[in-house]
Structures are given as structure tokens and as C-alpha cells.
């Protein structure tokens, strides 16, 4: 008798533990974003201005869920403001806008739990060991970093693009959250989860070719749409190309049509609809030799 009662209580406790987070999420989603938060999204996520009402509503819902599920931590004395939370959530959820269908809760960066925000570029010690066993310690300036253990680290200065010399087409939030999507497949290797073998074959063919071309461009100091930072590894290529897909979609589509096609299938949205087509075509590669030197 006592055992049956204990078993029932245990079953009830397990049911409550399973239902409670779902109930909390439903309750959070039932409360719309405050008008000030909606205004922040329109101000700090430029793509929102070109969206239709249905897309805006879906993005706001994703942002509500993001703010409910993810924890923000200020670092180096920074106090995380509502502007920081809404801006980072809004840009991160852009990557999921086409992929999250329906009105129910979406799978929203399931591996991620915490976003650490620094006021500016942060220094991280790096250790490299060469063939002869010599250990070199360096301290590298970082704008952002994505960890496989569920953390993303961002510099707020760079999120709000306070550093003016930064070239157009860059977005550190899109970059780090592309790494998160990439890591969901089990390997952060430039190929996120795509589903079918055919999709992987086509992805690998197109991205390998454009990655090799970018490496050649970087070697000869030629500049096209994609930042040379993407030539450092296939994972960085995917993150850099994702920045361009959302920030300079017309230029990317014109210069890398096959790559743009693969991203259309993956992100299931066409960011060209949010921006007027630029009057001038993307510039031809030049030999100015200017390099974008910070890490992310």
C-alpha cells in the first residue's frame, strides 16, 4: 500500500517536473513584448524594418522565448540592459525566423544556456605548442566567441557596431550564433544539420569550392563580398557567409549564386526581401591589401 502511494507520488513529481517548464514557457509566450522592446528590435535589428507583419510577429515570439530560456551575464563590470538582451536575442533569432514554423514553441538553440556580455573586445589567453614542444602564450582580442558547452560570449561595443571602421556586412551576433547552429550537428565544421545525404553532398560541393576561392582571394589580397576571416577554416567560412547572407544578401547572391541557393534552402528565408537592391553592383576584387584583423 505504502509502496503504491510512493510510486504514485514519484510519478506525479516526474510529471510536474516535465510539465512545469512547458507551462512556464507557454505563460511567457502569452505575454507579448513591451512596446519599448518592440521599438528596440526595430531600431537595432535593421532587417526588421523590411519585414511584413507576420514575419515581425514571428520574430517577436522567438525573442520572447529566447529571453525566457537564455540567461544573460554581464562581464567586466557590465550591467546587462534590456537593450542588450533584446538586441542580441533579436539578431540571434533572425537565423531561426525561416526555420521555426508554426505558432508553437520552437527549438531555439537547444545547446545554449548563457550569453556572456563584455563591454568591449575582450582578451583571452591562447596557448599554442609547436612541433618542438615550445609553448607560446598569446593574448588575443576577441569580439565574440561561441563555445560548444552552451555559452556565447559577445562584446557589446561590437554588437551595436560602435567601432566605425568595421566594414559593412559584419555582424558578430549572427557570426557566433551561426557557430551554435553548426555545433548542433555534433561537429563545428562548417556543415550544420542538413537532413539528407543529398543535401550534404550539394552543400559540401558548393561551400568547398567557394571556400577554396576565398582562400585564394585572401592569399592574393583580393577583396570580394566575403571577409577573409572566412578563409581560416570551413567553420569560419560558414559563419562569415551567414553574416553576408543576412547583411548583404543582394551582393552575396550576385557574386556567389550557388552558395546563396544553399543558404536559401538551409535558412528557409530570403533576406533580399528586407533590403532594396543596391544601385551599384558589388565592387570587383581589389588589391588594397586591407585585412580585417580581429578574431571572432
Residue nearest Zn ion, CB atom distance: 239
Q: How far is the CB of 243 from Zn ion (least distance, A)?
A: 10
- What is the footprint of Zn ion within residues 213-252 (CB under 5 A)? 236, 239
Q: Hey, is 257 helix, strand or coil? A: helix
The answer to the question of residue 172 lying near Zn ion (CB under 5 A) is no
Q: Which is nearer to Zn ion, 95 or 239 (CB)?
A: 239
Least Å from the CB of residue 263 to Zn ion: 17
**Among residue numbers 277 through 296, which ones bind Zn ion (CB under 5 A)?**
296
242 vs 177: CA distance, rounded Å: 10
H-state helical runs in the chain:
2-30, 35-44, 53-69, 82-94, 156-159, 172-183, 197-219, 234-247, 249-255, 257-267
Q: Quick one: 62 or 143, whose CB is closer to Zn ion?
A: 143
For the bound state, the minimum distance from the C-beta of residue 146 to Zn ion, rounded and expressed in Å, comes to 7
Q: Bin 87: left if φ > 0, else alpha if -120 < ψ < 50, else beta.
A: alpha
Q: How far is it, in rounded angstroms, from Cα 260 to Cα 250? A: 9
Residues 40-79 as x/- pattern, contact with Zn ion by CB under 5 A: ----------------------------------------
Burial of 74 (0-12, 13-18, 19+ CB in 10 A): middle
Please classify residue 174 by burial: count the beta carbons closer than 10 Å to its beta carbon, then call 0-12 exposed, 13-18 middle and 19+ buried.
Answer: buried
Q: How far is the CB of 204 from Zn ion (least distance, A)?
A: 20
- The three grid cell numbers given for residue 138, joined into one nine-digit string: 598569446
Taking the C-alpha atoms of residue 18 and residue 108, their distance in angstroms, rounded to an integer, is 18
Of the two residues 70 and 170, which places its CB atom closer to Zn ion in the complex? 170
Which CB atom, from 63 or from 173, has the smaller least distance to Zn ion?
173
Task: Name the nearest CA neighbour of 242 among 267, 214, 208.
Answer: 267
Residue 83, burial from CB neighbour count under 10 angstroms (0-12, 13-18, 19+): middle
At its nearest, how many Å lie between Zn ion and the CB of residue 257?
24
Write down the least CB distance from residue 68 to Zn ion, Å: 27
Q: Name which of 40 and 239 has its Cβ closer to Zn ion.
A: 239
Compare residues 239 and 269 and give the one whose CB is closer to Zn ion: 239
Size of the site for Zn ion (CB under 5 A): 3
**CB of 44 or CB of 146, closer to Zn ion:** 146
Minimal distance in Å, beta carbon 227 to Zn ion?
Answer: 11
Cβ-based neighbour number of residue 194 at 10 Å = 17
Query: Interface with Zn ion by CB under 5 A: which residues?
Result: 236, 239, 296
Amino acid at each position: 500500500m505504502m509502496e503504491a502511494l510512493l510510486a504514485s507520488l514519484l510519478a506525479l513529481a516526474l510529471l510536474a517536473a516535465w510539465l512545469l517548464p512547458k507551462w512556464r514557457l507557454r505563460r511567457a509566450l502569452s505575454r507579448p513584448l513591451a512596446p519599448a522592446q518592440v521599438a528596440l528590435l526595430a531600431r537595432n535589428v535593421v532587417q526588421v524594418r523590411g519585414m511584413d507583419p507576420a514575419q515581425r510577429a514571428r520574430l517577436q515570439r522567438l525573442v520572447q522565448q529566447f529571453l525566457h530560456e537564455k540567461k544573460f551575464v554581464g562581464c567586466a563590470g557590465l550591467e546587462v540592459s534590456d537593450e542588450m538582451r533584446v538586441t542580441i536575442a533579436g539578431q540571434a533569432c533572425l537565423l531561426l525566423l525561416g526555420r521555426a514554423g508554426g505558432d508553437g514553441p520552437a527549438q531555439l538553440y537547444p545547446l545554449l544556456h548563457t550569453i556572456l556580455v563584455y563591454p568591449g573586445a575582450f582578451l583571452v589567453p591562447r596557448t599554442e605548442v609547436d612541433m618542438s614542444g615550445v609553448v607560446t602564450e598569446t593574448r588575443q582580442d576577441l569580439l565574440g566567441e561561441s563555445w560548444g558547452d552552451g555559452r556565447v560570449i559577445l562584446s557589446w561595443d561590437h554588437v551595436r557596431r560602435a567601432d566605425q571602421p568595421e566594414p559593412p556586412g559584419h555582424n558578430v551576433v549572427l557570426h557566433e550564433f551561426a557557430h551554435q547552429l553548426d555545433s548542433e550537428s555534433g561537429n563545428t565544421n562548417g556543415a550544420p544539420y542538413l537532413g539528407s545525404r543529398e543535401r550534404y553532398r550539394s552543400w559540401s560541393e558548393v561551400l568547398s569550392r567557394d571556400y577554396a576561392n576565398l582562400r585564394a582571394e585572401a592569399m592574393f589580397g583580393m577583396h570580394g563580398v566575403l571577409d577573409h576571416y572566412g578563409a581560416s577554416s570551413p567553420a569560419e567560412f560558414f559563419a562569415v557567409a551567414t553574416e553576408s547572407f543576412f547583411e548583404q544578401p543582394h551582393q552575396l547572391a550576385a557574386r556567389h549564386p550557388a552558395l546563396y541557393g544553399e543558404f536559401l534552402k538551409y535558412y528557409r528565408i530570403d533576406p533580399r526581401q528586407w533590403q532594396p537592391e543596391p544601385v551599384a553592383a558589388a565592387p570587383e576584387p581589389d588589391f588594397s591589401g586591407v585585412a580585417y584583423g580581429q578574431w571572432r
